[in-house]
Amino acid sequence: MYSIHLFIQKGEIKYMNIFIQILSIVAFAIVVLVVYNVLKIYVLHKIKINKWIVLVAALVFFMVPMLIWPTMPTYLANYILPGIFVILFLWFMDLSGFMKKSDISRSKGYKMTSSKKDKKDDIVIRSKAKPNRVKNNKK
């Protein structure tokens, strides 16, 4: 019986392992971003919380489990906790305004943002025209 190792050289196995690791990282990133977008649409926009609390929670999920439970299962350490950390950190960035959507209108030539703070800054209060002021100044 021939072993599979006779047909595959050692270098090819090493490259295959690297390819599988890169593929799993890309798949993990896609899954986390999809979960974050679904949570953002249905859950996170309803929760009003301070952005610093979200950042502290993200850092807690990043640091504390490794200190408390050093022998945690591989699946939990490699996928679940980093996924929760990334979701909380993306939520912090969203609350901080780092991920604002901006659209540059081609016809108007100005930048439109979806932030309420920017819309408040764009409002200009103008005084009302008073047509009788000229008549009163002549008297």
pLDDT at 42: 92
Residue type, 64: V
pLDDT at 135: 64
Cα separation, 25 vs 46, whole angstroms: 30
pLDDT at 11: 56
Residue type, 101: K
For residue 92, how far is the Cα from the chain centroid? Answer: 8
The model scores a pTM over 0.85:
no
Q: Break the chain into its structural domains and give their ranges.
A: 4-100
- For residues 81 and 30, the answer to whether their CB atoms sit within 8 Å is no
Mean pLDDT by 10 residues, the chain (139 residues): 50 78 93 94 90 94 84 83 93 87 52 56 76 65
